[in-house]
Amino acid sequence: MNGELLRFELESSHTLLLDRCNRQWGLCGFPFDIYELHDLAHPGFPGEQYKLLIFLNCARISSEAAEGIRRWQNADRVFCWTYAPGVTGPDGLHPSKNAELIGMRLGWRNQRQNIYVNIENAGHALTQGAASLNFGTEGSVGPVFFADDPEATVLGTLRDGGEAAFAVRQHDHWRSVYLAMHNFDSHLLRNLLARPAAARRRSPSAIW
C-alpha cells in the first residue's frame, strides 16, 4: 500500500482496528477467531464452521488469496468487506477491479473527509437498532470508498457526501456486505451474525 492508502493505515488502523475489535467486538456474545487472509486457501482451514467472514481493509488481494475466498463463497455464508477491499494491485488503484470477487462494485473519491456512516433503512434485519448503529471517523481520512452497485440494497450512507456506505447484495449461495469504515460496534456485529431460522444449522461463530 502506498500514497493515500498508506497514510490511512498510519493514521487510523491501530485505533480503529485494535481498540474496537479488542474492546467492543468482544461484547457481541458470539465466539470469533482471527486469521490471515491467505489462511482461507490453506487445505486445513476450517471454513465449514464459520458463517460470517469479515475482511478488515484487505486493499490488495493476491490471486492465491482470491482462490481461498471463492472456496468459501457458499453455504449461505456472509462476506463482510470494509473500507477498501481489493482496490489496488500492481497496476494501481482501481476500486471496481475485484467487483466479482467481493460481490459488489465500489466507487471512490480521491479526497479526505470524515468517513461516518448513517444508518437509513431501519426496517432491514441488518439495521436493527437504527441510528444507534451509526459509526465512523471524526478525523479526516481518505481516499473515500463507497458501494456503487445498482444490484445492492443500500442500508446506510456517508454523512458527508451521501454515497452508499452500508450495502448488501445477495448472491446464489452467499451474501456480500460492504461497510465504508470498519469501526462498527458489537450491536451491528450481532446483526451480521443473525440469520433466518431456516438457515441456522449450528451455533453461530465468526471470523475476521
DSSP states along 71-118:
HT--TTEEEEEESSTT-EETTEE-TTTTHHHHTS-EEEES--EEEEEE
- Does the domain formed by 3-40+47-207 have CATH 3.40.50? yes
75-93: per-residue pLDDT in tens?
Answer: 999 999 999 999 988 888 8
Q: b/e map of 126-161 (b: 16 or more CB within 10 Å)? A: bbbeeeebbbbbeeebbbbbbbbbeebebbbbbeeb
152-179: per-residue pLDDT in tens?
Answer: 999 999 999 999 999 999 999 999 999 9
| Mean pLDDT, rounded, of the chain | 85
Domain boundaries, the chain: 3-40+47-207
Position 204 scores a pLDDT of 47
113-129: per-residue pLDDT in tens?
Answer: 889 999 998 789 999 88
